[in-house]
Structure 1
Amino acid sequence: MGDQASILSSTIAQDSTIKKTLHVHRWRPSHHKWKHVVISSDPNEGLWGGRHTRPPDHLRLITWNLDFNKFEDQSNRLLTALRSLQFMVLDCGDESPGPTCILLQEITPAGLSALLETDWVRQYFYVTPIDPSKWPGPHYNYGNVTLVHKSIPIFGAHILHYGATQQERSAIEIDVRMRNYTLRIINSHLESLAGPTNKYHRFRQLFECAKRLKDNPAGGFVAGDLNAIDSDWDERVYERGLVDAGEECRETGHTWGDQRHDGPEEARFPNSRMDRIVCHYPQALFRVTNVRRIGIGLRHEADWVSDHFGLAADVVSTQTQ
């Protein structure tokens, strides 16, 4: 097993991922449309969209796979999920939630359209991407979308195309400012299903995320549906110098299984912690704490909002004033 793992690791390390710049957008009521904003490339300027911003010392993090399978119903299920975040998870109602990042996976074009039409999102968040053609095609079944509260300075946004695989997976990478350092946040959905080929791609994608986190001096985290179904998952995470924040916070509950669809594919897999928040803390400038599950038992009419539970956590700077 050790020799096989070494071969796998060395092979994966040779694969490359295509990185493309993304625009970040905000809603402009005067134009009645989403417009992209200019991101300063110099974190020392503290400029975002042409205005000075004081970087926060904490933010709330949410990640949630919202299930693309029922195409005709995702818009309504997504809106129910957003209302749950507003009134139950963030407890802000229609008001501002404060510094918050929301990472969504398995968003369809129809779901993205519904999200962009939501008043709460329009008022308080920057969104990337707003165009589903930015996702790997041609089916656009597995879109990732990142929402960043307007109080958080952003200094870069990219999409990582992992390459042509069965599930056409990708990641959204953003660099945000906390205190006097830049934190890298990667929203990803890794390759799913069992089998050696899928496992190979899954770890290749995870290792690419690890590399991207290590390229940032202050580190950061990758969060999302990471399909952590392999028996050697934890070993591969630790050997890359990463920390499973959920395990560190003793969140051991599974995020997939109780609300699965009735079908032969789903029946093959046991309940598991498919969804994770995996961190790189090179300078111990921040911590991801208080990881907890959300969306348990949430329905839109007769349907589960998702076959996954989401995760919420607190990202806190360890620096003092």
Structure 2
Amino acid sequence: MSSAKPAPVLEALTSALNVPIQKREDSFYEPRQQGYYSPSPEGTWQLAQTNQTHAPNHSLPALNRRNIRLISWNIDVLTPFHEERMSAALTYLDELVFSTPPDVAIVVFLQEMGTSDMQQIRESVWIKKRFYLTDVDETSWLSPYYGTTMLVDRRLQINSVFRVPWYSKFDRDGLFVDICISESAKANANPRFIRLCNTHLESLVADPPVRPIQIAVASQYLHQSSVSCGVVAGDLNAIQPFDRTLHTENKLNDAYLMCGGSEDSEDGYTWGQQVPEALRNRFGCSRMDKILYMGSIQPTSFERIGIDVKVAEEHRQKMREAGQLEWVTDHYGVMADFVLLEGGELGQIGQSAML
């Protein structure tokens, strides 16, 4: 496994820091449709067809069509020992997925993906058995750094996948997936969706602020007429006072707060606990990672994940010798269970064909 520091990522970040943000032509910020991927019987990833029907398979039970679990985790792209850390992260996520009630659909949001991360995801047997991938490489990313991807339960019916570039100096965007739902309580023939957005909002402090623009655009897409309910989640880089109110200003709810959490609470922080002491002393701890939602959906539980997850024992000594911490990433992840309201049910054309 490689342990070299990802110099191109650092160079790209430094370059972006040293130039002002540039507004591009309006067409640049239009939605960009993309495909998604399903494993073939031979185990290779191939483009899936929207709304495709799979032959029934009973390796997983039918869905509880009113419940869905969302997991979000940022795996630090700037720290060396990429493969070792991502391997441990995937092992942990496998255990988390396995511990989930088998009739509950799962969607996993990942941020700060690199090319080696995508290779490890493609090769993971447990992912092939249960999930679609929105990405198998960096093709749809605005740059090969700071990529995002989603793992989507293959019992769900995907209507579309698209990306919306944000106004950003770091090439950030929103990755959207529309999942079909039915609303038995409404006599409405028009298709309706739960729209999920995985994002990594602008890093650091900007003047004027950029994150309010980014979350406002995400909210606009969640509030479109075809969307029954929506979720935007990920590393929202909430490090300034204005970040605390971005959800209310954009007609969104904060799952952590709605489940009883409070600001400035140790049990809410997702960054700062797993960084070098000098960084923690300088920046403190913060609740960077959030799950925001709107519409006919309600969180029933919220928790942090990835706490004190470290690389495999056989890699720790060489990481210590290189002056690196043993944790998989500097972020805790977040996880929320949701229930659909107003008679909404997750669309399920047929059981996914599991390998």
The answer, yes or no, to whether TM exceeds 0.5 is: yes
Q: Is the 8 A contact 2:271 2:330 kept in 1?
A: yes
Report the more deviating stretch, 238-247 or 178-187: 178-187
Contact 2:119 2:137 in 1 (8 A): no
Matched ranges for 1:236-251 at <5 A: 236-251=246-261
Establish whether residue 287 from structure 1 lines up as the match of residue 290 from structure 2: no
For 2:329 and 2:172, how far apart are their aligned partners in 1?
19
**CA RMSD after TM alignment:** 2.6
Establish whether residue 278 from structure 1 lines up as the match of residue 292 from structure 2.
yes
Which residue does 1:45 correspond to in 2? Answer: none
1:214 aligns to 2:228 (yes or no): no
Q: Which runs of 5+ in 1 are unaligned?
A: 1-10, 41-47
1:305 partnered with 2:328:
yes
Letter in 1 for 2:41: P
Determine the C-alpha separation between the residues in 1 that align with 2:176 and 2:64.
18
CA deviation string 1:137-185 (max 9, x = no partner):
2xx220101000111111110012214x332111210001244341000
Match of 1:185 in 2: 196
Deviations 1:201-223 (A, max 9, x none): 21111111010101143130100
SS class of match (1:77): helix
CA, structure 1 residues 15+259, in 2 after alignment: closer, same or farther (shift >3 Å)? farther
Matches within 5 A, 1:42-191: 48-49=52-53, 56-71=65-80, 73-87=81-95, 89-92=96-99, 98-137=104-143, 140-163=144-167, 165-180=168-183, 181-191=192-202
Cα distance in structure 2, aligned partners of 1:97 and 1:36: 26
1:29 maps to amino acid: P
187-196 vs 255-264, which moves further = 255-264
* Structure 2 residue ranges without an equivalent (≥5): 1-22, 57-61, 184-191, 263-267, 317-325, 346-355
**TM-score normalised over the length of structure 2:** 0.74
Q: CA distance change for structure 1 residues 124 and 311 in 2, over 3 Å: closer, same or farther?
A: same
Tell me the equivalent position of 2:9. none
Does the Cα contact within 8 Å between 2:37 and 2:46 map onto a contact in 1? yes
Asked if structure 1 preserves the Cα contact closer than 8 Å seen for 2:64 and 2:103, the reply is no
Amino acid aligned to 2:175: I
Secondary structure in structure 2 of the residue aligned to 1:123: helix
Residue by residue, what CA displacement relative to the aligned partner does 1:230-255 show, whole Å, maximum 9, x if unpaired? 20223232121111111111234100
CA distance in 1, matches of 2:118, 2:227: 33
Listed as ranges, the matches of 1:187-206 within 5 Å are 187-197=198-208, 199=209, 201-206=210-215
Distance 2:332 2:246 in 1: 24
Which letter maps to 1:192? S
Counterpart residue identity of residue 228, structure 2: A
Counterparts of 1:110 and 1:97, CA distance in 2: 32
Q: 2:132 is paired with a residue of what secondary structure?
A: strand
Letter of the 1:193 counterpart: L
Number of residue equivalences: 289
Separation (CA, whole Å) in 1 of partners of 2:289 and 2:46: 32
Write the distance in 1 (CA, Å) between the matches of 2:283 and 2:163.
30
Q: d(CA) in 2 for partners of 1:168 and 1:150?
A: 29
In the aligned structure 1, how far is the partner of 2:75 from the partner of 2:269? Answer: 16
8 Å CA contact retained: 2:197, 2:231? yes
C-alpha contact 2:195 2:229 (8 A) present in aligned 1: yes
**For each residue in 1:185-210, what CA deviation from the matched residue of structure 2 results, as whole angstroms up to 9, or x when unmatched?**
0000000102314x2x2111111101
Gap change, CA 1:209 and 1:270, over 3 Å in 2: same
2:37 is the counterpart of 1:22: no
Deviation at 1:125, TM superposition (A): 0.4
Which residue does the alignment assign to 2:273? 258
**Once the 2 structures are TM-superposed, how far is the Cα of residue 98 of structure 1 from its aligned partner?**
4.4
User: How much has 1:54 moved relative to structure 2?
Assistant: 7.2
CA contact (8 A) 2:229 2:297 kept: no
Q: Is the CA contact 1:170–1:188 (under 8 Å) kept in the aligned structure 2?
A: yes
**Other-structure match for 1:43:** none
Shift of 1:318: 2.2
Whichever of the two has the greater Rg, that structure is 2
Q: Structure 2 vs 1, CA of residues 178 and 218 (structure 1 numbering), >3 Å: closer, same or farther?
A: same
Give the match's secondary structure for 1:204: helix
Percentage identity across paired residues of the two chains: 27
1:228 is displaced (CA, Å) by 1.1
